Structure 1
Amino acid sequence: MINRRLIAMMLRPLGRAPGRLALAAGVLLVATGMDVLGPWLIKHYIDGYLVPEDWRLAPLALLAGLYVASQLIAALGRYLQTLWFARIALDAVHALRQRVFRHVMRLPQHVIDATPTGEMVARVTNDTDDLRELYVEFLATVLQNLVLLVAILLAMALMDLQLAAIAATLIPVAAVVIWGYQRASGPAAMAVRRLRADQNARINEAIGGMGVLQAFNQTERFRERYHRLNVAQYHARLHTIRISGLLLRSALDLVGVIILAALLIAYGLDSLQGGAEIGVLYAFVTWLGRVSEPLIEITQRFNIFQQAGVAGNRILTLLDRPQATSGDDHRPIARADYRLEQLVFRHQGAAANTLDDISLDIAEGHFLGLVGHTGSGKSTLLDLLCALQPVSGGALLFDGRRIETLAPEVLNAAIASVPQEPFVRSTTLRDNLLMGLEASEASIARAIDEAQLRALIDRLPDGLETPLGERGLTLSTGERQLLALARALLRRPRVLLLDEATASVDSLTEARLNRALSTLKGRVTMVVVAHRLSTVIDADAILVMQQGRIVEQGSHEALLSRPDGVYYHLWHQPEAP
């Protein structure tokens, strides 16, 4: 579970605060020294003053003062070290969570599409939270107890080597217990982690599709599926608790009692020979209790290590996924044109190409329509044109340069897209329009008018400041598409890519959008995927796609002149306008 890569990942953020870490470690050493000093002072009092009945006030007062001071310093040190170590741990987890989220934001689109949202959320939140427990527990508890354990064993050895050897047998026994616990609980800890991720995925899926589940009377089936996951996780957690109860405190408590008995026997034999001191017995019994407790604390927290090890390896798996590659060509776009040369694209793990042998020129200011049956590759081609997916073969040139060599900011400044399912945040309409862009009120108003969004804004109670709710569900599907179009136009792009932008709007709004596209024709390079063929009637060229290939191309009139063509049948099918 805990391997070198995981340790290296966790030590990386700790290295950013060496001074604070050294200060906390120094306080830990001082506090531990004062902790160990207490029994030694009492042993000195018993054997040096109590047994011989030496009641001199000055040395007794000095011993009492040293004892009180050592305990006060130890208490203050324990408080400070716990506080500082906890802060160091929280800072480390904060840095790690930022790193994981930054990595997720740079993953390729196909990785995001292939990973359930709930599982991705679990890795960024739950898994990093479990690592937080490991940081806090290790720095604030385990490290303190390890230092205390070493200090006590050294003090024992300095006082009586034979009794120290007996007490030290607790260490290998604890190591065996920890090894057995790891072997027994590892699979159960992995199962708990996997089941929790599945639960998050099911919850996310159910909430996202609640309307459909209720409409098709599937809520009970989903509830039963979640119940089975919940029961499975319950049994997995119960299994880890049983193992913990058997192998951690219970086992070590038993071993501690046996070692205490061995110490008493050894002390009794020394007493028979007249070499034993009562103060030594007191100190060893006190220290033995403090030896047992650190070991119990460490072993009890080993279940946290197990869970954190599983969580950490899941995070490492996520960080191992290659990020989307981006180019370093920062030269601005001179010509907003495309050239596709024998382009090939295949989804990861797919048996066949999604796009095959696509060769095409799209001139600057050109209006290109993409039509075809569902699954013909239209939306995939659009993803390639805005560099959301890497090409699998051939070449895709933008402004005469391979698109994968262009820097993201260069592409983002030139290309805007309106996806088939618009992304709407739960903030205000203004925030959704701007998406971090700084724009004047005049620019916002122009984009709103061009996208035919004015009627919606006039209807909303607070206009642009109206909150849109989760995923913008207060808007209709068509209104969300108009919002996405206005957001794209606000950026004044050189290229506008639209995926079924008019699929969910009424006929009147569709006509207005078509007029808006007509006003952009010649000024902006447009590629429009359309199910409603009326959207692309005025296109300079229409490509008809079938099974990932271009089977026809030409103007609307030219394509309609072919009665045996695919476009002709698309136009005359009953659901077409």
Structure 2
Amino acid sequence: MSHTQSEAPVTSRLLSRRRLILLWQPLRQRLGDVLRALSILIVATALDVLGPWLTQRYLDEHLIPGNLAPEALAGLMGLYLITQGGAAAGRYLQQLRFARLALASVRDLRERVFTHLLHQPLTTLDTLAAGELVARVTNDTESLKELYVGVLATLVGNVVLLIGILSAMALMDGTLALIAMALIPLSVGLIWLYQRFSGRAASEVRRLRAFQNARIAEAIGGMSVLQASHQTTRFGERYHRLNLAQYSARMRTVRVSGLLLRSAIDLMAMLITLTLVAVFGLRELGGGAELGVLYAFIAWLGRISEPLIEITQRLQVFQSALVAAGRLEEVLETPREGEAAGTMTESGAKAAPSSTPASARASETDAITTLASGHYQLEHLTHWHQGAEAPALDGITLTIESGEFLGVVGPTGSGKSTLLDLLSGQRPAHREQLRLDGRPLGEWSAHQRAAAIAIVPQEPFIRATTLRDNLLLGREISDSRLDMVLDKAHLTPLIRGLPEGLDTLLGERGLNLSTGERQLLALGRALVATPHVLLLDEATASIDSHTEALLQQALQELRGEVTLIVVAHRLATVRDADRLLVLEQGRVTQLGSHEELMTTPGLYQRLWQEDIPH
């Protein structure tokens, strides 16, 4: 997903077929509500248009001729009050319905985008900063609310009002109606000019806002490092430049809108009003003018100019929302994990390989429980990072037996974590290069992989909720099974020391736990799934020696129960592994037990000698 498409300066590029499908889908699901809101809108508009017509009847048929019969005047006044009261009530109801439609549509779209992000492979998520993704889920979907409100409530409402007013004008006086209608093509010309000059600036504003969010998230996440290294001033200056660029882009849109929108339309409306008065004056000289007709046309003309002004002023919001829709389209167009890139269907959903229904997931889990053994086959496994000049892994051929304890070591940048990402399925591998239990790993569904493979990352993900919630992550488990998991992960002493036990609230990112305790929590979370493969990525890199000993003991107790694949910076963690895989620049340089490798001069000997504990 790149953000270059968001720079499209022309509305015709923004209004792509896929984008229109994306925007139409939430409304299509509520078509009945849309039609009811439109019906209320049409009735309210008709009642609103009747106001000047009733006033014209009063002036030309009663006030000027002196026909002031109380019954007729009371009837006109009552009808006027009914129509205008009904129009006001109808406008309120249609605005309420359109706002409800807009908010519901944005709610559904936001959930859809977030759910799609949850199923993205790491290769996709690596291309965007966290702040950029947050902006797409929150700011961009919020911008679409303005699009729905603007298009449904403002644009549609004002178009219906214009049609109603022009129809009433034509029925009352065709000549004056033609003069008033001249305002329409002139306004369309202004709209075209506005779109031409403001489109690029609107796209730039949206792009820079996303960069601002990304920089803020980056600064907050690394505040301790920035302050410790005295880089806060430099980051502040970078944000100042970005903020100034966005200010300049927004000012360009303000200048264009100030010149081409309200001021220009007001001027044209004034000229057309003067023309109407002049024509009426000529008729008065000829004795064929009616004062009520002039009043009605001036009143209607005022109501024509306001919708046109409102429509043109909404264009800036409209263009900004289309840019936001394009950014959301980029997210939704990226294939999910294990999914080939597809095309968006007419309903707005991506055409994808057959999804796994909820009723089938339980049978998938049962199949994994009975059939999975944790046996890997790697055949010339190769992986390139996007934009890299050399492969991260280069032609690795290896068999990992079920229940084996395999340690993976090597210098920084040798491909250890990349190998783990491929073995877990978080990064895609070529179909024939990586098999688990005889099947290409890419053919396993995400649910099947989650049931068979568990990961303990170097930086555990901790939510600001209870310890129990962080262990289970919404999964159900019996109390006896939970107790067994706590014992295996050596978490029982920790829980006994907490004031609320498993129900103790953890702080943001679990900062009230030590680094080692967070790692043991991550191990316990992995064991809750009863995996057949357990992957650990530098789990001992930042923990104290006591916790490292507990983790080593836990691995020894799990030995033989699961296939253990452990990436280790501290070689003592994997010294007792069945085999050690030594990586250097993405290639296997040595393979064997600790004793075998220590008798052979090579990289492992040098790493062992350099290892601090030894």
Q: 1:130 to 1:574 in 2, by over 3 A?
A: closer
Corresponding position: 1:350 with 2:362: no
Indicate the residue corresponding to 2:15 in structure 1.
3
| Equivalent position amino acid for 2:506 in 1 | L
Corresponding position: 1:223 with 2:223: no
TM-score with structure 1 length normalisation? 0.97
Corresponding position: 1:412 with 2:450: yes
Distance 1:99 1:521 in 2: 41
Corresponding position: 1:533 with 2:545: no
Give 1:292 shift: 0.6
Indicate the residue corresponding to 2:345 in structure 1.
none
Indicate the residue corresponding to 1:162 in structure 2.
175
Tell whether the 8 Å contact from 1:342 to 1:394 is kept in structure 2 after alignment.
no
Corresponding position: 1:341 with 2:353: no
| Equivalent position amino acid for 1:535 in 2 | T
Corresponding position: 1:440 with 2:472: no
Give 1:73 shift: 0.9
Tell whether the 8 Å contact from 2:471 to 2:524 is kept in structure 1 after alignment.
yes
Superposed, 1:196-235 pairs within 5 Å as 196-235=209-248
Indicate the residue corresponding to 1:296 in structure 2.
309
Give 1:178 shift: 1.2
Distance 2:337 2:444 in 1: 13
Structure 1 stretch displaced more, 459-468 or 16-25: 459-468
Corresponding position: 1:118 with 2:131: yes
Match of 1:450 among 451, 467, 488: 488
Indicate the residue corresponding to 1:267 in structure 2.
280
Give 1:393 shift: 7.0
Deviations 1:128-167 (A, max 9, x none): 1111111112222222111101110111011111111110
Give 1:295 shift: 0.6
Give 1:441 shift: 2.8
| Equivalent position amino acid for 1:195 in 2 | L
Give 1:394 shift: 4.5
Match of 2:156 among 138, 143, 146: 143
Distance 2:408 2:21 in 1: 50
Superposed, 1:466-485 pairs within 5 Å as 466-485=504-523
1:349 alignment partner, SS class: coil
Corresponding position: 1:568 with 2:605: yes
Superposed, 1:63-462 pairs within 5 Å as 63-325=76-338, 330=364, 331-332=367-368, 333-392=371-430, 394-462=432-500
Distance 2:229 2:479 in 1: 45
- Cα RMSD for the two superposed structures: 1.6
Superposed, 1:503-518 pairs within 5 Å as 503-518=541-556
Distance 2:544 2:65 in 1: 104
Give 1:470 shift: 1.8
Structure 1 stretch displaced more, 226-235 or 441-450: 441-450
Give 1:302 shift: 1.4
1:502 alignment partner, SS class: coil
Distance 1:223 1:565 in 2: 48
Structure 2: tracts of 5 or more residues without a match: 1-10, 340-352, 357-363
1:154 alignment partner, SS class: helix
Distance 2:221 2:479 in 1: 34
1:165 alignment partner, SS class: helix
Q: 1:285 to 1:523 in 2, by over 3 A?
A: same
Tell whether the 8 Å contact from 2:538 to 2:566 is kept in structure 1 after alignment.
yes
Structure 1 stretch displaced more, 250-259 or 565-574: 565-574
Distance 2:572 2:313 in 1: 69
| Equivalent position amino acid for 1:228 in 2 | R
Tell whether the 8 Å contact from 1:244 to 1:300 is kept in structure 2 after alignment.
yes
| Equivalent position amino acid for 2:424 in 1 | C
Give 1:576 shift: 4.7
Distance 2:230 2:485 in 1: 42
2:406 alignment partner, SS class: strand
Distance 1:156 1:405 in 2: 67
Indicate the residue corresponding to 1:489 in structure 2.
527
| Equivalent position amino acid for 1:434 in 2 | L
Deviations 1:228-247 (A, max 9, x none): 22222222222222222221
Give the share of equivalent positions with the same residue, in percent: 55
Structure 1: tracts of 5 or more residues without a match: none
Distance 2:240 2:372 in 1: 58
| Equivalent position amino acid for 2:489 in 1 | A
Structure 1 stretch displaced more, 52-61 or 195-204: 52-61
Distance 1:530 1:4 in 2: 49
Give 1:208 shift: 0.5
Tell whether the 8 Å contact from 2:381 to 2:395 is kept in structure 1 after alignment.
yes
1:389 alignment partner, SS class: coil
Give 1:30 shift: 0.7
TM-score with structure 2 length normalisation? 0.91
2:534 alignment partner, SS class: strand
Corresponding position: 1:520 with 2:533: no
Give 1:574 shift: 5.1
